Amino acid sequence: MFKPAGTVPIGIFDSGVGGLSVWKEAIKILPGHNFIYFADSAYSPYGPRSEEEIVERSAKITEFFISQGVGMVIIACNTATSAAIAPLRERFAIPFIGMEPAVKPAAALTKSGVIGVLATKGTLSGRLYNRTLNLFASDVKVVEVVGTGLVPLVESGKTSGKEVEDLLEKYISPMVDMGADYIVLGCTHYPFLRDAIQKIAGESVTLLDPAPAVARHMYKVAKENKLIDPIGRDNILGVNLYKSCYMDTQFFSSGSTAILERMARKVIPEIPDSCFKSKRLT
């Protein structure tokens, strides 16, 4: 069914709550727009799962989005982007935007010639990441670390405290010891650990989160595809107007909504209970 520009929802999905870090940036750029967020929490994390299973889950989520009138999908998960964005684009006639660790800007900005990449095993072994690495980081030393256990911590609502810092110490300190002055947050869950990571890395190390760049790209693609009202949008681009848009996102989870509610309300405390729903996809 045709919908006028400005009313077509944009879908955002992740294996869990990590993609809320992308949603947070998206609503800064398009306050008041309709978003639908899907946390595939019953299948989280995606990292250990096969590429075929990730593609299957991503397709089911996309089918659900389309049934809700979504006109564009943001794959707010590095692992799902690497595994599924190509087959999704072949199968569905809507735009897809994916995630990619911010290796290119880190390699361009480093003064020490050493950058760190904290990511999941699936991301570090993925085609997109390694293509970016070969294209843009061949002249710098890249210290790659698999953040085992970090996603489950965030999925349980733990973003600070001794347990978090003890695990991060194992991952971040070796990067810093090897001279990294930029650390790429290669999983959408990791920005929720930003304060703890920065504390361990020190103020001389810059953390790079690709979410703001993804949100800017979302705006460009949405405008090109007439999914947003072009009148007046440029005047508010980048303005933090959270309060104007908290009623315009619907949140779904394939598992419990408890952590999704808790983490979303770290961004906007006033989100009403009615915005959260469980949705099993079979």
> Among all residues, which ones are annotated catalytic?
77, 187
- Residue 229 has a CB neighbour count (10 Å cut-off) of 15
Q: State which H helix or E strand residue 45 sits in.
A: none
Q: What is the DSSP string of 112-150?
A: SSEEEEEE-HHHHTSHHHHHHHHHH-TTSEEEEEE-TTH
d(CA 167, CA 190): 13
What is the token pair recorded at 203?
Answer: 């103020």
d(CA 121, CA 102): 16
Q: What is the DSSP string of 191-221?
A: GGGHHHHHHHH-TTSEEE-SHHHHHHHHHHH
Which residues make beta-bridge pairs with 49? none
Alpha helices in 225-276 (DSSP H): 233-236, 258-267
